[in-house]
């Protein structure tokens, strides 16, 4: 089918930039009605206009995933206002690279609260309805950093390791209930992610790594998400690791 997600409803967290924004657009292009959540309202306003101009159905959500009640409200509003929830893309994340020694532990809390607890809150809010309807996709955006630990990325690595473990455990828990849990693990993608790093050395190293190769575009990851959620219902693509061809 040309628009294989017609009649489906998706919710994308962290849709105000980068991979989340591209994924919301790709799901819309594939025919889904899409709820877009993040904290920056101006950016969501722009995306809403763009998607609606293209004929999309959009619900804009003021969503900070570190707020458990906001996560529950986002899922409830999506079901009420878009008529269901078939695809949850847990994409919101921060990568505050730096050494463990000397770290500002406030950055650890931001990473764990967003990348780990935020993803868990959203999943907790969404999973029951999916099991009840006997279908649904939860796609968690992890990282190469969820499979390969490096010095200078310890807590980010730990947060993505947690995402992978949580996803696999939940996959087993809902096996046989029609619900698929998928992991997408990108390598270097050009987005705003690096811009939030405060550790000068870590930020320079990450920027140099990006500058040294043909990095991925957010769209390259969005295509993988669409691939997962458009498989026949008996096919669960559990895990997709995508590096730039030039990335070691």
Of residues 4-33, those binding ligand NDP (CB under 6 A): 13-20
Under the binding rule (CB under 6 A), the answer on residue 193 touching ligand NDP is yes
Active site residue 156: yes
Residue 78-117 contact track with ligand NDP, rule CB under 6 A, x = bound = -------------xxxxx------------------x---
Is the distance from CB of 155 to CB of 105 less than 8 angstroms?
no
Cβ neighbours of residue 168 closer than 8 Å, sequence gap 6 or more: 181
Under the binding rule (CB under 6 A), the answer on residue 244 touching ligand NDP is no
Cα gap 97→206, rounded to integer Å: 9
Report CA torsion sign: 104, 15, 218, 222.
positive
| End-to-end CA gap in the chain | 37
Under the binding rule (CB under 6 A), the answer on residue 40 touching ligand NDP is yes
Task: Find the catalytic residue in 17, 118, 153, 156.
Answer: 156
Cα gap 200→97, rounded to integer Å: 10
Under the binding rule (CB under 6 A), the answer on residue 228 touching ligand NDP is no
E strand or H helix that includes residue 88: strand 87-90
Nearer to ligand NDP, 40 or 150 (CB): 40
Under the binding rule (CB under 6 A), the answer on residue 61 touching ligand NDP is no
Under the binding rule (CB under 6 A), the answer on residue 73 touching ligand NDP is no
Of 5, 26, 38, 222, the one binding ligand NDP by CB under 6 A: 38
Q: What are phi and psi of 186, to 5 degrees?
A: -80, 150
What dihedral angle (degrees, nearest 10) is formed by the CA atoms of 52, 56, 58, 64?
-90
Residue 138-177 contact track with ligand NDP, rule CB under 6 A, x = bound = ---x-x----------------------------------
From the list 25-33, 59-67, 164-172, 225-233, the region that binds ligand NDP by CB under 6 A is: 59-67
**Which candidate, 183, 175, 85, 70, places its Cα nearest to that of 130?**
85
Cα gap 239→248, rounded to integer Å: 19
Cβ neighbours of residue 112 closer than 8 Å, sequence gap 6 or more: 155, 158, 159, 162
Report the nearest approach of ligand NDP to the CB of residue 57 (Å).
20
Nearer to ligand NDP, 16 or 30 (CB): 16
Under the binding rule (CB under 6 A), the answer on residue 39 touching ligand NDP is yes
Of 29, 32, 65, 71, the one binding ligand NDP by CB under 6 A: 65
Cα gap 109→2, rounded to integer Å: 43
Q: Which residues bind ligand NDP (CB under 6 A)?
A: 13-20, 38-40, 43, 63-66, 91-95, 114, 118, 141, 143, 186, 188-189, 191-193
List residues with catalytic annotation.
156
């Amino acid at each position: 089918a040309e628009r294989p997600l017609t009649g489906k409803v998706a919710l994308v967290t962290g849709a105000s930039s980068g991979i989340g924004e591209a994924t919301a657009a790709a799901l819309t292009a594939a025919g889904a009605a899409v709820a877009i959540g993040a904290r920056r309202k101006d950016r969501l306003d722009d995306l809403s206009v763009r998607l609606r101009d293209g004929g999309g159905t959009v619900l804009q959500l003021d969503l900070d995933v570190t707020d458990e009640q906001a996560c529950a409200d986002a899922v409830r509003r999506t079901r009420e206002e878009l008529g269901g929830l078939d695809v949850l893309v847990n994409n919101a994340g921060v990568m505050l690279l730096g050494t463990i020694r000397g770290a500002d532990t406030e950055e650890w809390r931001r990473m764990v609260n967003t990348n780990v607890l935020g993803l868990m809150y959203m999943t907790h809010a969404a999973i029951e309805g999916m099991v009840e309807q006997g279908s649904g996709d939860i796609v968690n955006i992890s990282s190469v950093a969820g499979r390969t630990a490096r010095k200078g990325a310890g807590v980010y690595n730990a947060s993505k390791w947690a995402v992978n473990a949580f996803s696999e455990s939940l996959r087993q828990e809902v096996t046989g209930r029609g619900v698929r849990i998928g992991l997408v693990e990108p390598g270097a993608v050009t987005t705003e992610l690096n811009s939030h790093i405060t550790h000068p050395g870590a930020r320079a190293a990450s920027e140099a790594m990006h500058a040294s190769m043909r990095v991925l575009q957010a769209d390259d990851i969005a295509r993988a998400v669409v691939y997962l959620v458009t498989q026949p219902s008996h096919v669960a693509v559990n895990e997709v690791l995508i590096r730039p061809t030039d990335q070691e």
